[in-house]
Amino acid sequence: MWYTIAFLLTHIFSVIFSIMKMTGMKSYSLIPLLVLVRLFNPLQGMLNILVFTRPHVAKERTKNPSLSWWGAFKKVVASGGDDDDERTNRLRRGVMAAAASARSAANNSWFARCTSFCNNKIQLAGNGQQTKYKWAAGAAE
């Protein structure tokens, strides 16, 4: 819900400006709307940070009620947005490493299969003409 609100707050003025510009309104009457577009579009990144750190800030404030919102926000951003305990981080790193090695093995085997397939199917004509290919399956040039 918060992401949707941030998205709409950021882009609603751009949409209104574009619609009014297409209807043929005079440029001088669109200046206040253009100011709002130029003000809110760059704020999308900041609003995304606020939205995505919101659960971590709330958790930090429940753990330490004496922290202000700003203090909890600074702590969450300084920690990289990760407020989990060490055991969870260790488990996550293990799972991520296993997934990365599985992806690497899958990519390598796919690459090996693809290159061997290409080497078996296509070979250069061999007579110096690099534009002609001879198919290994016996197809005509």
3-state secondary structure 90-131: HHHHHHHHHHHHHHHHHHHHHHHHHHHHHHHHEEECCCCCCC
| Residues of the chain under the 50 pLDDT cut | 121, 123-132, 139, 141
**Which residues have a Cβ under 8 Å from the Cβ of 100 and sit 6 or more positions away?**
none
Question: Residue 141: what pLDDT?
Answer: 45
The two structure tokens encoding residue 21: 């510009």
Task: Decide: helix, strand or coil at residue 135.
Answer: strand
pLDDT of residue 125: 46
Say what the pLDDT of residue 82 is: 62
Query: How many CA atoms lie less than 13 Å away from 68 in the CB half-sphere?
Result: 3
